[in-house]
Amino acid sequence: MDWKGYTLIYVVLFVFATIQAVVEFVGLVDSAYWLAFGIIMVLSVVKAVGVAAYYQHLISEPRSVTYMILGGTLGAIALTGAAAYSIV
């Protein structure tokens, strides 16, 4: 990827971060908490995937590297999700 591609990614990341803050500033977190929660977390996931895919070049590595990271991520999600569910 050349500098133009990197710049495009950067702009998208910047805008998404701003949207996350705007969601709070317009009061959505207070009025519709779980909707705001959903929007914000989805944006975070999209940003993370963007950084991993293009800045860390996962897109051009063998897929096995992605699977390895996904493995760790799944473990962390299993721990968080199941533990939290166990006490609700």
Partner 1 sequence: MPTTSSLQIGADDLAFPRLNALSYWLYLFSGILVGVSFFQGSTFAGGWTMYAPLNTPAYIPGEGLGATSVVLALIMFTAAVTMGSVNFLTTMYRMRAEGLRMRDIPIFSLSINLTVWMMLFAFAALLAALMILASDHVIGTTYFQFANDGSTLGTSAENPGASLLWAHLFWFFGHPEVYIVFFPALGAMAEIFQTFTGRRLVGRKWFIISMVLVAIQSFIVWMHHMFLTGINLPIKTIFMATTIGISLPFDLMVFSLIYTMAKGRVRFKTPFLFSLGALLLFILGGITGVFLGAIVLDYQFRGTYWVVAHFHYVMFGGATALIGGLYYWYPKMTGKMYDEFLGKVHFATFFVGFNLLYFPMFIAWETPRRVFEYPADLQIWHNLSTVGGFILGASMLVMFYNLFVSIWRGEDAGESPWKYASTAEWAVGSPPKLENFPGLPSYASGSLEFLDDEEVAERTGKPPGAGVAADGGTASDGGTARNIRAVTAPATPTAAAHETGGEGHASHASFWPFLVSLGGFIAFLGLSGVRTGSPVYVGMAAVGGLATVGSLVGMTRESFHAPEMAIAERWPFEGVEKMKLGMWTFLASDVVLFGGFIGSYAFVRVAYGWSDWHHDLIPAEHVTMPGLINTYLLLTSSFLVVLAMVAAKREWRGATTASLAGTFALGVGFLVNKGIEWNHLFHIHSEMFPNGWTLSTNIGSSTFYLTTGLHGAHVVVGLVICGYMTIRAWNGAYQGDDKPIEYFGLYWHFVDIVWLFLFPLFYIL
In angstroms, give the least distance from the CB of 31 to partner 1. 13
Which residues of this protein are in contact with partner 1, per CB under 8 A?
1-3, 6-7, 9-10, 13-14, 17-18, 20-21, 23-25, 29, 33, 36-37, 40-41, 44, 47-48, 51-52, 55-57, 61-65, 68-69, 71-73, 75-80, 82-88
Question: In terms of CB distance, is 31 or 62 closer to partner 1?
Answer: 62
Rounded CA gap, 5 and 13, in Å? 13
Phi and psi angles of residue 84, each rounded to the nearest 5 degrees, phi first: -65, -40
For residues 25 and 85, give the distance between their C-alpha atoms in angstroms, rounded to a whole number: 30
